[in-house]
Structure 1
Amino acid sequence: MSRIGKKPVDLPSGVTASVSGQTVEVKGPKGTRSFTATDDVTISMGENAIKVDPRGSSKRARQQWGMSRTQVQNLVTGVTEGFKKELEISGVGYRAQMQGNVLKLSLGYSHDVNFEVPEGVTVTAAKPTEVTVEGIDQQLVGQVAANIRAWRKPEPYKGKGIKYKDEYIFRKEGKKK
């Protein structure tokens, strides 16, 4: 039995959901999101809650059960609160700034890196060393943050590079004489 899958997804006030076949559409104050589940699960709408049940006891059905319930929960969280990833830039001369829809990164290369921000995500650089990625799609927010971080991953000796705010960088000791 899936511990996650057993719980129904509660709909807070201000959020409406509709289930048609295998597709769930959730509307909230921040926007509209939808998810189409596989045929291994059954999605039903209850009193202010969405319930996900497996269509059998096969391994795949049990895997999809918990995953589908989590996806529906992420839809509800996205349209109510949204998702946010914070990045920190550390290193001498490393900085970021927004210019319209382009994030301009100075990361020690011979040129500045221009990162085009995709549709559905908001990127802000309040300080030159802090970048915030926000949106209602958790997968897209995480992917954009990972793409920004990939330009200069933190190195283990001085910790220079782009890291997530809550990330711990394992430090190595330098050369000895």
Structure 2
Amino acid sequence: MSRIGKKNIHLPQNTNIEIIENNVYITGPKGKLSYKLPEVIRIKHNIKNQTLSLYKTHENKEAQKLYGLSRTLVNNMIIGVYKGFEKKLNIQGVGYRSQLQGKNLILNVGYSHPIIIEPPEDITIEVENNINITIKGIKKEKVGEIAAQIRRIRPPEPYKGKGIRYLNEKINIKVGKAGK
């Protein structure tokens, strides 16, 4: 039984919600997002308390699966249009660096050629000190996907830890061969 689905979602100020049938439209200072709720899930907007609550129309397995998921997706949309999401990456390794050229991210991470990443329209990428990359956007899943795509280019290797890693990610370093 989903405990997450039962929780009410608090609407921050400067955030507007519009519910048309099963479509939810949320606008805030950072942008506008929409989501189509599954047929077995309904949403209520309590204007007095500025909260949203979701409920199931049927009591079956399918409805139970989608109950907590729908609540989390709507909550992430509200957080996204109000605050936004960001992921931070760190590049470690001699000669490894990154830079921005317009909106595109250019990575020099040990390959014979630089790797160019073109972000989607609603994602912004920032680079600090040529080694710290920040990915920002209003859609949590898109921000995470772009961060994972960048990390996949050169994941940290287990012997020296060189590569692209998430900020504060712990890499278990292996001991190399014992020399005689």
Normalised by the length of structure 1, the TM-score is: 0.97
| Structure 2: stretches of 5+ with no match in the other structure | none
Query: Structure 1 residue 59: deviation in Å?
Result: 1.4
| Structure 1: stretches of 5+ with no match in the other structure | none
SS of the residue 1:64 aligns to: helix
Query: Structure 1 residue 97: deviation in Å?
Result: 0.4
Q: Whole-Å Cα distance in 2 between the matches of residues 173 and 43 of structure 1?
A: 54
SS of the residue 2:153 aligns to: coil
Q: Which amino acid aligns with 1:131?
A: I
Q: Deviation string for 1:78-101 (max 9, x for gaps)?
A: 011100000000000000000102
Pick which of 155-164 and 167-176 moved more: 167-176
Q: Which amino acid aligns with 2:133?
A: V
- Alignment equivalent of 2:102, drawn from 76, 95, 100: 100
- Alignment equivalent of 1:176, drawn from 172, 175, 178: 178
Q: Whole-Å Cα distance in 2 between the matches of residues 131 and 9 of structure 1?
A: 31
Asked if 1:8 is matched to 2:8, the reply is yes
Partner of 2:22: 22
Q: Which amino acid aligns with 1:161?
A: G
Q: Whole-Å Cα distance in 1 between the matches of residues 59 and 133 of structure 2?
A: 45
SS of the residue 1:150 aligns to: helix
After superposition, the CA RMSD in angstroms is 1.0
Query: Structure 1 residue 117: deviation in Å?
Result: 1.5
SS of the residue 1:52 aligns to: strand
Q: Whole-Å Cα distance in 1 between the matches of residues 143 and 107 of structure 2?
A: 18
Q: Whole-Å Cα distance in 1 between the matches of residues 26 and 146 of structure 2?
A: 23
Identity level (%): 42
Partner of 1:144: 146
Query: Structure 1 residue 3: deviation in Å?
Result: 1.3
SS of the residue 2:4 aligns to: helix
Normalised by the length of structure 2, the TM-score is: 0.95
Q: Deviation string for 1:100-140 (max 9, x for gaps)?
A: 02111000001111111211000000111100000101011
Query: Structure 1 residue 68: deviation in Å?
Result: 0.2
Pick which of 123-132 and 164-173 moved more: 164-173
Query: Structure 1 residue 166: deviation in Å?
Result: 2.5
Runs of 4+ more than 4 Å apart = none
Partner of 1:46: 46
Contact 2:103 2:124 in 1 (8 A): no
